[in-house]
Amino acid sequence: MKNIIYIMLFSCVLSIFTTSCDNETEMLFDETASQRKTAAVEHYQETLKNSDEGWLFQYFPDKEMQYGGYSYVVKFDENDSVAVWYEGMNDLTAPAVSFYDVISYGGPVLTFNTYNPFMHYFATPSGAEYNAKGGDYEFLLMSSENDVITVQGTKTGNKMRLTKMTEPAEDYIAKVKEIAGFLGGASFNVTVNGEDVSAQEMNRNFTFEYTDNGNDTSIVVPYIVTDTGISFYEPVEIQGQSYQDLVFNEQELSFSSIQGNLSIQLVVAPVNLTSAPWSLDIVGDNTCSDTVFNTFVEIYNANAQVWGEQLAPTVKMGGVRVDLGDIGISFYSYPGPYRSHYNLSFSGVPNQPDYLDIAKVSEGFNWSYYTHLGVFVDVITDNAPYQVEMDDEQNPSTVKLTSVGNADVWFVLTLD
Amino acid sequence: MNKNRITYWLMIAIIMVTVGACTEEEGPNPNVSVITVESKTQNAFDKYLDEIYRKPYNIRFMYKMEDIESDMDYQLVPALYENSIKMANLVKYLCLDAYEDVAPDGFLEKYFPKMIMMVGSPAYLNNGTMVLGTAEGGLKITLYNINNLDVTNAAALYRYYFRTIFHEFSHILHQTKDYSTDFDKISATDYVGGSWDDAWDSGSSLEAGFISDYSSKETDEDFVELIAHYITNSEEAWAEKMEAAGENGSAIIGEKMAIVKAYLKQVWDIDIDKLRASIQMRASKLGEQDLDKITIE
């Protein structure tokens, strides 16, 4: 018995030592981790520099992409410096130059490591925006193939693309700015397979609302302006069809999908009231119809009754306080004066180039104290759209709006 | 010899053989590093920094920011290259050279923080206030708001950058050799801790014997704030402050300053009045300095 125990112990010890002697560890890679890291960094250094016209960088700041996307062109040179073009720049011949580097940080990372007013625009904080606009300036380099480098923002995690440019940066950015110019201030008439889809646009995000198999669906789609139209951040499925790139037609003022049948028709207002304040002088000569005048008298009396204040007989409309984002209608109540504001939208009407639609958006500054003025706002919005007559088609300073549905409602606005 | 003994011996022999067999023939080659360091080309500014910071003081002046290496509590952007050059010259002229004028040999090399980092934006907190500078363990001083640098405004230079540098550097000194505990007793019951920023009305901290609101946080902050404010104010400006502090405030500050002066003299062989004179003289000649230079004359 004892012998058996010894033999077992002996074989056990023997087996441990013999197996522990295997030194033949197989290397998974031919190079050390450090060598591979350096090789990856060098690969991207070379790739980035290897483009005469630079790279188109389709940049999406913010985790939620609430500002949509912006086009940059970045041109890397031998001396660690990078020239940056951006669609927000005015002089396209003057790119902003700063330094860049490709560093290793859990993978190769492209970093813009000295300040560049364009590249860091969405990342620069202020007292009001201590988190800036959530822009990245360091990007994990994920892959490069077929002249496209895929990167990921280290802060937002947003995936973005650098595409090798084949034309000068100025030319590309100029085309982007031109198309972006058409989008500003327009409203949109969207159809999918010929059916109307409700669409709102704000900060380069479209909100589409439609019915899919009987379900009310609402999707928010960030987009970027390209040299030929617009491109959604990622493919969007609407009623079973996938959409991403839309081509702009300047004659028809429309964007059409390459695949499927999505069309976005721009509806441009006949007059832009939103970039400056306009005045409606209630007691002026021939400045408003009796209906408008009488409604004003009604709210004037209501205001005296509620607050014992006098309502100023000049009502402000349009871009009342553009600095505060107050677009709509404002009333002034004396003494004070106290301003109360209701946000309105001023937009075009499809197929009616002379019509202006005015619609309620939301209650604004001080409105909760002055809800008794709402009757006047109701008259303005309930009788929209309006036929627009201007003193000067190019630079109007006086505009007469006459309700299309009710000839008894009209008023004249004068540019402040 | 019984059978058991034979078994024991046999086992020991085998164990020795197998253990011996485990030594490796090929060790790692000590001449080949497994870490590959990429050699970066130096630009003219890098070479200049080498000459004025690294060689004499072993200080790394960091003007290229790596956000992933910086404070993730804040949204920050890098510094403008042009402003970093100005700042490199300013820190050298207004700080290092000023200490060099009055401090014993080898003082800066040994004690000055080894890294100075430039950050373009201020470090905003979510309440709209901003952090002016930070120091990490006496090793790294971070200066914010470099993109708004205005070299013509000495008061702003002191406020945004230099008081921070002097403040943080002084922390290193007292952390190396502590000051007298007599200092702690002077305002012992008046320190307010974390509520320093809303504990005082305008000017009231001064009347209570604190050179700044932040001084009232705790004794260490009080100590270094006194140094930083003393050397960044001219004799006249300091006298005005003492006047504003009133009888009580100026008496308390005077008592603290006596300890500060004695400490710097005895422990570090630095005459704070000479240091102040050097800084003030240099500040008065700031306009004559070429702050954009990146070559050694």
Query: Taking CA atoms, what residue in B is nearest to A6?
Result: B7
* B8 falls within a domain: no
Q: Across the interface, which of B19, B43, B128 has its CB nearest the CB of A17? A: B19
pLDDT in tens, A171-208: 999 999 999 988 877 888 899 988 888 888 888 999 99
CB contact under 8 A, A18 and B64: no
pLDDT in tens, B159-206: 889 999 999 999 999 999 999 999 999 998 999 988 888 889 888 999
* B230 falls within a domain: yes
* B26 falls within a domain: no
Q: Give contacts of A 17-36 with B, CB under 8 A.
A: 17-18, 20-21, 23, 32-35
pLDDT at A269: 87
End-to-end CA separation in angstroms for chain A:
113
Residues A125 and A193 in one domain: no
Could you list the residue range(s) of the whole structural domain that residue A353 is in? 277-415
Kindly report the average pLDDT of chain A as a whole number.
Answer: 91
- A266 close to A190: Cβ distance less than 8 angstroms: no
- B121 close to B72: Cβ distance less than 8 angstroms: no
pLDDT in tens, A332-343: 999 989 999 999
Q: Which amino acid is at A314?
A: T
The distance of B273 to chain A (nearest Cα, Å) reads: 38
Query: Taking CA atoms, what residue in B is nearest to A32?
Result: B34
Q: Which residues of B touch A111 (CB under 8 A)?
A: 66-67
pLDDT category of residue A239 using cuts at 50, 70 and 90? confident
Percent of chain B surpassing pLDDT 70: 86
- Assess A369–B contact: CB distance below 8 Å, yes or no: no
* A12 falls within a domain: no
Number of domains chain B is built from: 1
pLDDT in tens, A65-103: 999 999 999 999 988 999 999 999 999 999 999 999 999
Candidates A22, A41, A115, partner chain B, best to mutate (most B CBs within 10 A): A115
pLDDT at A199: 87
Q: Tell whether the model's pLDDT for residue B250 goes beyond 70.
A: yes
Q: Using CB atoms within 10 Å of the CB of residue A334, give its burial: 0 to 12 exposed, 13 to 18 middle, 19+ buried.
A: exposed
Q: Which residues of B touch A127 (CB under 8 A)?
A: 124, 128, 130
DSSP labels for A104-169? ESSSEEEE--S--TTTTGGG---SS-TTTT----EEEEEEEETTEEEEEETTT--EEEEEE-SS-H
Q: Tell whether the model's pLDDT for residue B15 goes beyond 90.
A: no
CB contact under 8 A, A32 and B34: yes
DSSP B96: I
* B170 falls within a domain: yes
pLDDT category of residue A22 using cuts at 50, 70 and 90? low
pLDDT at A256: 95
CB contact under 8 A, A125 and B122: yes
Q: Across the interface, which of B63, B64, B147 has its CB nearest the CB of A101? A: B64
CATH of the domain at B110: 3.40.390.70
- Assess A8–B contact: CB distance below 8 Å, yes or no: no
Residues A325 and A388 in one domain: yes
Q: Give contacts of A 114-153 with B, CB under 8 A.
A: 114-115, 120, 123-128, 130-132, 137-138
Q: Which residues of B touch A27 (CB under 8 A)?
A: none
pLDDT at B23: 53
pLDDT at A211: 84
Task: Write down which residue in A142, A173, A204 finishes a domain.
Answer: A173
* A11 falls within a domain: no
pLDDT at B121: 94
Q: Which residues of B touch A17 (CB under 8 A)?
A: 14-15, 18-19, 22
How far is Cα A196 from Cα A198, in angstroms, rounded to an integer?
Answer: 7
Task: Write down which residue in A125, A149, A173 finishes a domain.
Answer: A173
Q: Tell whether the model's pLDDT for residue B113 goes beyond 70.
A: yes
Q: Which residue has the higher pLDDT, A129 or A20?
A: A129
Q: Across the interface, which of A113, A126, A131 has its CB nearest the CB of B78? A: A113
